[in-house]
Structures are given as C-alpha cells and as structure tokens.
Structure 1
Amino acid sequence: MLWIPITFAACLAQVLRNGAQASLTGKIGTLGATQVRFVFGLPFALLFLLIGLGVTGESLPGLNRVALAWGALGAVAQIAATALMLLVMHRRAFGVAYAYIKTEPVIVALLGVLLLGDHLPLLGWIAVALVTAGVVLASVKPGEFSQLLREKGMIAAGVTAGGLFGLSAIAFRGAITGLDGGGYVIRSLTMLVITLAIQAGLLGLWLALRDRAAFAGSLREWRQSIGAGFLGALASACWFTAFSLTAAANVRTLALVEMPFAALLSGKLTGKGVARHEWIGLTLVMLGVGLLLWSVAR
C-alpha cells in the first residue's frame, strides 16, 4: 500500500511543477517551458539516484535491451502525447479537451493487461470506469457534450493523446520491472535518469534545429527553470516509484483524486461556485477512488 502516499506526493509535486511551467510559458513559449522539465530535471534525477545509492548501499541494476526498449518507448510516447495534448487544448475548449485526454485510465488498464499481464479485479475495472465517467461529467459543460463527437479529427487526436500517456505509463512500468536486480527505489531512479536523458536529448536537438530562442530563454530564466526542473524530477521520481509497486492503472486512477480538491480550491480563489455537473462528476471520481482503494486493500 506504500504506492498510495507516493502517488499523492507525485500529484502534489506535479501540480506545483505545472504552476512553475505555466509561469514560464508566457516568457519562453510552450515548447521552451516543456523542455525545462526534462533538461533541467535531469541533473536532479541524477542527484536523487546518487542519494538513493548512498542511502541503500545498493549498486546500479543491470541494464538489458528489453528494459531500455521499454524506457525509450515511454520517453517518446510521453513527448508525443504532450504535443497532441497541446494541439487539442489549442483547438478545443479546455473541458472538452480534458475529457478526451482523461480517457487515459481506461487505456492504461487495457494496455496493462495486454502488454504486461497486469490484471485488475472486477472492482478495479468498475473504479476505473467510475473515475473516467466522473472526469468527463465534471470537465464538460452540459451544452458542450455535442462537441465531444462533432469533430472526428479532434476526437482522434485527444484520445490518441490519452492513449500515448497511457502507453508511456505502461512502458515506464515495464522498463522499471525489467531491470536486472536492485530494490524498487533504485530501479525506479535508474530508469528515470535514462528516460529523462532520452527526452532531454530529443527535445534539445529539436530546439537546437528549430527554436534556439526557446532554449536560450530557459537559460535566461534559470532560477524559475531550476525550480520547475526540480519539481518535475521529484514528481517523476514519485510516479516511477509508484509504477514499480503496483499496476499503472491503479496509480493513474488514484492520481485523479487531485481533481476534486483542485476544483474546490479554484472555486474559492475565483469566487465561482462548483456547478451541478461538476459536483456529480467529482462525486463519481471520489466514489471510484474509494472503490479502488477498497479493492486493493481486500
């Protein structure tokens, strides 16, 4: 059950990282802010790994082709998913876009069974379905439901983004569990360093060829970039550790527990109440999360 508090820690770090990246976006652009989590996060991931090795006294786990292939697949899938997510959010209303993308828990559960043999109990599947339905209801205004099926291109892009995010979660779990030897913490941190190195290299090459100003901007805003990089590495370290302990579907479903709290906090900050459809959706999310926790505790 250790994966539960680790997932909560990942959610908190991710929310803080998103806030740091959002403040950078207006200064250095979307792509520039996105690469910060990888380029500036890599040194912190290395530091976390060194600390982990020192504390545990373990040696690095053995690498193999299967684990490296899973890691590379996850790294590329996450970058592609992020690009598609930005495209959908640019073209559609945020709520509709969010509903497309948050089909992820269902996709993670299906891919987990097909690719890793991570079978969920019946209650686990019901929990995934409840949480996904809750996200859709809370994200989409009643008058926007027709938009969900109106544009086939955006449906394909949004669901593909959710699918790629799901694939990346499955691939990261496959990579971590595929390493030879080592405890779950060291295996998680080792694979985090490898995947961040791949992502930093790919995005660094892209920026060097297509948008050098974005990378230069991140260097100019180095204080904020370092903060975002640290939070990104911390969030990813927690995600990877949680993936090493349980099925990715459990982790990604539980992660949506942040949604009700974010909605309530947003309502207080903006002075706007939570709408009826949001209450219904958020209630389903909480019921689904509660059912998930009950199913794994049995």
Structure 2
Amino acid sequence: MTLLWIPLTIAAAFLQNVRSALQKHLRDRLGTTGATFVRFGYGFPFALLYLAGLVVLTDLPVPMLNAKFIVIVMIGGLAQILATGLLVSLFDKRNFAVGTTYSKTETVQAAIFGIIFLGETVSLNATIGILVSLAGVIAISAARSPAGLRAIATSWTERPALIGLASGAAFGIAAVSYRGASLSLGGEGFIMQASVTLAFVLVFQTIVMVAYMAVREPAELRASLGAWRVAIWVGLSG
C-alpha cells in the first residue's frame, strides 16, 4: 500500500496530459471560458457516480459536511477555476511551453502553502521528490522549446511565464484547500472523504460557471454543451 502513490502519480500525470491536449483542442472551438467550463461541467457526473459506487459497494461511512468544509472547498473551487482559466489562456500564447513550465511549479507552491496554512511538514524525501519532478518537467519542456532551457530561464518576467506562475499558485491553493477540507470531515481513511470533497467541489464549480456564462457568455455556454462528444473525455480524464 505504501507504494500505491507511484502508479497513481503516473496515471494522474498521463490523464493530465490527455486533458490538457483535449482542452487545447476545445480552446480553438469554444474560447477560454468554454474550455475551462468543460473541465468541471463534464466532470461532476463522473464524481457523483464514483461517490455513489463507494456508498453502495463499500461499508465506508459518509461524513457529515460542516461549515469549515464548505468554506474551504469554495475557496479551493474558485482558485481552481482561476488556475484552469489561466492555463487554458496560455494555449494561444507564443511562449506556450514556457508558460506551462512555470505552471508546473504548482507542487512546490502547494508544499509552501501547506506549511503556511495547514502547519504541515515536508520530509527530506518528499522535498527531493518534488524537486526531481520539477526538474523533469523543466527538462522535457526545454527539449520541446525551440530556444531550449535558456528561454525558460530568461523569460520568467514575460507575460506567459507570469501567467504560468499565477496558474501554479492558484492550483497550489486549490490543492491545499481540498486537503484541508477533506481533513475537516474527520473519520478514518481518506477514500470517502476525498470522494465527497471531489463531488462537492465539482458541483459547486459547475454552478458558478453556468451562472457566470449564462449571464456573460451564453453563446459559449451553448457551444460548450454542443461539444459534448469531446468535452465528456475532458470530464472523465479529470
């Protein structure tokens, strides 16, 4: 069980790449808001199905929600919407690879936020793992970038890099918020708590984005619903 994180991490990284590729495709058809919405609007049905499966097929108790949980989840949900929108907006930037590389500082920023807001400690092994994974992302991005590592190192003050850093920070805040919300539910284990957190936040994010788009961008909302054949895979891979 202690090594379960390895296949889970590999699977998460693979699915993240699939989701990003699909959102990049949808960005050209729907725009930034629509490509952001599909991550949540098409994701919450799968989260609810997974939660229902746990309730029916296991004996795990369903935790009761509390005010602290709701507030923290809402903060994390809004942060993730912002982070996703910023990341999607990078798809049409000239230095797209640079921006996405800086967004991958999410793990480092999440560790810092966890120390500040949750009082967590990061072990030496965890620190090494975070830095190694970050170095790997930078190396891969440098190999794909025409200008290589120099472009990534020297462009940190340019707009794509700043957007990437902001996206990484918002993703980090979201990750820490979800962990704090899950912990606030109490109980033993983590599967049911994490599932409840995931389902709640995706429903909340969908409500927020539908309300916003219905008022500000109704045409894009209709287009997002019409693109369900591709968008549904974004929700599933999320």
Query: TM tier, shorter chain?
Result: 0.7 to 0.9
Instruction: Quickly say closer, same or farther: Cα 1:124–1:230, change in 2 above 3 A.
Output: closer
Q: Is the 8 A contact 2:32 2:89 kept in 1?
A: no
SS of residue paired to 1:61: coil
Instruction: Quickly say closer, same or farther: Cα 1:210–1:179, change in 2 above 3 A.
Output: same
SS of residue paired to 1:207: helix
1:120 CA drift (Å): 1.8
Query: Aligned residues, how many?
Result: 231
Q: Is the 8 A contact 2:24 2:91 kept in 1?
A: no
Instruction: Give the match for residue 80 of structure 2.
Output: 78
* Mean Cα deviation higher: 189-198 or 14-23: 14-23
1:32 to 23, 31, 34: 34
Instruction: Give the match for residue 148 of structure 1.
Output: 155
Q: Percent identity?
A: 35
Cα distance in 1 between the residues matched to 2:97 and 2:24: 18
SS of residue paired to 1:8: helix
TM-score (norm 1): 0.69
SS of residue paired to 1:214: helix
Q: Is the 8 A contact 1:96 1:147 kept in 2?
A: no
Cα distance in 2 between the residues matched to 1:178 and 1:157: 31
Instruction: Quickly say closer, same or farther: Cα 1:170–1:220, change in 2 above 3 A.
Output: same
Cα distance in 1 between the residues matched to 2:51 and 2:222: 28
* Mean Cα deviation higher: 66-75 or 136-145: 136-145
Task: Report the aligned-residue RMSD.
Answer: 2.3
Pairing 1:1-298 to 2, within 5 Å after superposition: 1=2, 2-140=4-142, 141-145=148-152, 147-151=154-158, 155-181=161-187, 183-232=189-238
Q: Is the 8 A contact 1:61 1:181 kept in 2?
A: yes
1:19 CA drift (Å): 3.5
SS of residue paired to 1:27: helix
Unaligned runs of 5+ in 1: 233-298
Cα distance in 2 between the residues matched to 1:185 and 1:45: 13
User: 1:97-127: CA deviations, max 9, x gaps?
Assistant: 1232122221111112222232122232233
User: 1:71-111: CA deviations, max 9, x gaps?
Assistant: 11111111111222334554451222123212222111111
Cα distance in 2 between the residues matched to 1:144 and 1:25: 25
Instruction: Give the match for residue 281 of structure 1.
Output: none
SS of residue paired to 1:180: coil
Instruction: Quickly say closer, same or farther: Cα 1:145–1:30, change in 2 above 3 A.
Output: closer
Q: Is the 8 A contact 1:64 1:180 kept in 2?
A: no
Q: Is the 8 A contact 1:62 1:181 kept in 2?
A: no
Instruction: Give the match for residue 145 of structure 2.
Output: none
Cα distance in 1 between the residues matched to 2:156 and 2:232: 41
Q: Which amino acid aligns with 2:7?
A: P
Instruction: Quickly say closer, same or farther: Cα 1:230–1:188, change in 2 above 3 A.
Output: same
SS of residue paired to 1:66: helix
Unaligned runs of 5+ in 2: 143-147
User: 1:230-285: CA deviations, max 9, x gaps?
Assistant: 232xxxxxxxxxxxxxxxxxxxxxxxxxxxxxxxxxxxxxxxxxxxxxxxxxxxxx
TM-score (norm 2): 0.85
Q: Is the 8 A contact 1:61 1:182 kept in 2?
A: no
Q: Is the 8 A contact 1:97 1:158 kept in 2?
A: yes
* Mean Cα deviation higher: 37-46 or 123-132: 123-132
Cα distance in 2 between the residues matched to 1:182 and 1:122: 26
Instruction: Quickly say closer, same or farther: Cα 1:98–1:191, change in 2 above 3 A.
Output: same
Q: Is the 8 A contact 1:63 1:179 kept in 2?
A: yes
SS of residue paired to 2:62: coil
